[in-house]
Copies of this chain bind each other. A is one copy, B any other.
Amino acid sequence: MRSATRVFRSNVARQFSTTTRLQAPSGLKINSGRLWESLHETCEWGAAHRYGENPRETGMARLSLTDDDAHVRRWFATEVQKLGCVLSVDRMGNMFARQARRLNSSAPMIAMGSHLDTQPRGGRYDGILGVIAALEVLRTMRENGFQTKYDVGVVNWTNEEGARFPKSMCSSGVWAGAIPIKKAWDLRDIHDPTVTLRSELERHGYLGEIDCSSDPASGFPLGAHFELHIEQGPILEQTGRSIGIVQGAQGYRWLTINVLGKDAHTGTTPFSARQDPVLAASRMIATSHDIAQRHDALASTGIIKVPSNASTNTVASEVTFTLDIRHPKDSVVHAVQEECLQSFATIASQDGRGVSFNWTLDTDSPAVKFDQNCVASIQTAADQLVGPDRSMLMTSGAGHDSVYTSKHCPTAMIFVPCRDGVSHHPTEYCSPEDCALGTQALLEAVVHYDRFHAGGQ
């Protein structure tokens, strides 16, 4: 992945050098202390999973549309209104805060967005940093009387994690027209099926009036979408870089493989008479890893399950496992899937009397390429702030709201390092310096985009 991004780097740099490299920075400086305090003060709603003695050494459990999430939403609404923003809430509870600017243009605002919900054992930075950083950008602009041409604003996307209502990037997906709103509304709390996403929107007063859509007539279109996010991987840290310029997202496919054998007594059934799905699945998982490695792709099994009545002395009747295949190129994702399935068929016919298997494609998320102008604006900001040696072009390995917004407005993302690449874990950590640097880059990228690319320029 890294060598590929290096090649891209020089191309993009060459392409945009005339328009971007000569531009001066904004002259603004975000308030890193205020950023840090706001981030951690708001994490009191949902703090969980203490791992150290410092009061802030906890993870987060702020699942979407819980009481804690409602608290931080109300705080966010108050803060953006203090900044003179107009707050709109759509039918999925997505919150759009818009600050009017110099041209008083009716053009869609330049948005900075992410999400305030977390995983049940999540950390303090994934999503949260993106929203609080965006707020800090607005605060900095306002206190300095800094005027962009076009309106700017912040979006808090509902249920990005999909941890409580099981659909990731749920409400940016509805906004982008990729997920039907009825389906999203009907998602049930994974622990309490009497509760739906819609019933929780209603309970907290977040079933807004406007359509969840990018349609200018009925919804809330965006002029651009910039998202600051922790990398959730180790590459920036391992290469000593501070800013990732994210030019797109990997394609990925999620498969579930069901291997069918036959339960048999482990003490009395010779290998030759067995149909052992655990053995076959083990060989399949090992093989999928080897195949992915040959393609410089990723293949991962996160879940493997035998029936609940499985026992030590019984060959299991069946095994189910997941396979997550990723690569920046869709063609490689497809090739890895194809090779894996061929290899699985061979493995199924080996050992004893063989096994059978079937598979389903649960998710197919093609690779996404972000907007070149947005990427160029971030690159300019990164060059100004840390120079080319401490930034790099990257492809996002994970899904983000930006993947959906990119379908309907120019979009790009900024990555900052997180310690040991850890995320979705209580110990997830991004240093105050990296949080501040990412926020400053977000500000500069928005300012640059406003100057050179917004409003159709």
Contacts and interface: CB of A to CB of B under 8 A. Distances in A.
Interface of A: 1, 120-121, 231-235, 238, 250, 252, 254, 262-271, 273, 276, 278-279, 281-283, 285-286, 289, 292-293, 298, 300-306, 309-316, 319, 322, 324, 326, 351, 362, 396-399, 421-425
B309 A120 contact: yes
Q: Which of A271, A292, A302 has the most CB of B within 10 A?
A: A302
B322 A289 contact: no
Nearest to A1: B270
B293 A286 contact: no
Nearest to A322: B312
A232 B300 CA distance: 37
Contacts of A312: 254, 302-303, 322, 324, 362
Copies per complex? 2
A206 B254 CA distance: 54
Contacts of A281: 282
Contact of A270 (B234, B276, B283, B362): B234
Contacts of A278: 285, 301-302, 304
Contacts of A233: 265, 267-270, 273
A246 to B, nearest CB: 11
Contacts of A326: 266-267
Given A232-B267, A268-B423, A270-B298, 15 more contacts: A233-B269, A234-B270, A234-B273, A264-B422, A265-B421, A267-B326, A267-B396, A267-B397, A268-B398, A269-B421, A278-B302, A283-B286, A302-B315, A305-B305, A305-B306
A398 B268 CA distance: 6
Contacts of A310: 302-303
Contact of A306 (B250, B282, B304): B304
Contact of A266 (B235, B269, B324): B324
Contacts of A399: 267
A424 B279 contact: no
A353 to B, nearest CB: 10
A316 B353 CA distance: 31
Contacts of A235: 270
B314 A424 contact: yes
Contacts of A423: 265, 268
A306 B266 CA distance: 22
Contacts of A232: 265, 267-268
Contacts of A268: 231-233, 396-398, 421, 423
Contacts of A313: 254, 300, 302, 324, 398
Contact of A265 (B276, B305, B306, B424): B424
A397 B302 contact: no
